[in-house]
Structure 1
């Protein structure tokens, strides 16, 4: 079944989805589709009117998809090449993630971020992977402001130190938790930021013995936390 996204409580598809349904998928009156609002509601619906700009549908049934018994929040410093962050958002949504936050670190090369395109990528990935929840994407903030937030019960900062053993995230995280993981920029976290995170209650963890690019580290953290909960 084809899944579409309509955040508003209306019975027609967005213009982009209408065009995709009619021109690309060749759907017509009487065809069955699924529509999600991104908040867990999934409607089984039948197309009632074909229009390239506003394809109408009639809801037949609505099911509420239960949220996952754990939640993942990845906080990442955007890379200089925005394509890498776009790749991360797409793949993280496909795997499953509840929230993505962006921050400016001391070594950050990119200090501005426009969410509009990232939100479109997240919507497309949600539909492609047949999920009913759209992750929250946060506006970029400073590192110091980010670590002041205290809503997550398991808080980690990913860092590969030159000396001394550090616990792997897969072993440091407990199943069924609310996770918040900090992923640094290309230049990594500064020593001051690591100390600030430690003072704020973040536990230092690694994602393995290899040094990873920012977007690879962010996706690896997402995958590890998903794995320990399956």
Structure 2
């Protein structure tokens, strides 16, 4: 994908219609607080990913690859249809399809691109899901994306010791598809697999870290005495749980052990239960402590 620079639109009347006129910005990327752009996820135009966005109103870029296929073959969009592009880093721009050829579309910006600031809270998930089968790892990554996790890191433990490169590539595709579906503007980062000894220093530096352990203090009870932090670490073990040595290493680094009820949960269930609870807890703090 590359920026082709200013152009003479094939359909210049589109840029002149009153319902398309946007307030002029002196900055190519105007910053918008999350609270002022909260309706960005409430439907609207079809949205597609592009690492490169036009630098200003009237700019054009070519969209190729998987997104071209999605635009033309799945949604069957046509010339002059209006769409949005986002870059996964908060950038968003509205425009229209100027041209479609055999391998790409030309996208014309109808406005200067916006830059939406990151939202809080920021929770980072560390889960030993490398050995999950039957699409369960896909489901975990998809739901973490939708719920707003900042990052997901596959943990390599004594009982979950590998994850293939092909699987990581698939999970990245799942993550992108989920970002588009839930209209998330800031991409969730999928980190390289990590061993426990590399996790321990991160726990030590974090003000708030939770590790899921059977028969520990219920998560909701633990939150009543937890410091008020909008970010932290979520740590979930493999199907056979962490070894005693691994649990002790993580606890000694400063993580709080939390329980999730009397039933034994799958890795993906435990991960989503903790993440959903902490996202709601963090949101409630924003309301009571603006």
Normalised to the residue count of structure 1, the TM-score between the two structures is 0.90
Q: Distance in 2 between matches of 1:169 and 1:51?
A: 55
Listed one character per residue, the Cα deviations across residues 57-89 of structure 1 (whole Å, up to 9, x for unaligned) are 012232222212210111001242342111110
Task: State the number of aligned residues.
Answer: 226
Q: What does 1:1-230 correspond to in 2, within 5 Å?
A: 1-9=45-53, 11-61=61-111, 62-82=113-133, 83-108=135-160, 110-114=161-165, 115-149=168-202, 150-161=204-215, 166-168=217-219, 171-172=222-223, 176-230=229-283
- Write 1 or 2 for the structure with the bigger share of helix: 2
Normalised to the residue count of structure 2, the TM-score between the two structures is 0.73
Structure 1 residue 106 displacement after superposition? 1.6
Q: Distance in 2 between matches of 1:152 and 1:48?
A: 48
| Unaligned stretches of 5+ residues in structure 2 | 1-44, 55-60, 284-290
Indicate the residue corresponding to 2:13 in structure 1.
none
Listed one character per residue, the Cα deviations across residues 154-203 of structure 1 (whole Å, up to 9, x for unaligned) are 11111113xxx514157425555212011000000111111101111111
Structure 1 residue 51 displacement after superposition? 2.7
- Counterpart of 2:257 in 1: which secondary structure? strand
| Unaligned stretches of 5+ residues in structure 1 | none
* Aligned Cα root-mean-square deviation (Å): 1.9
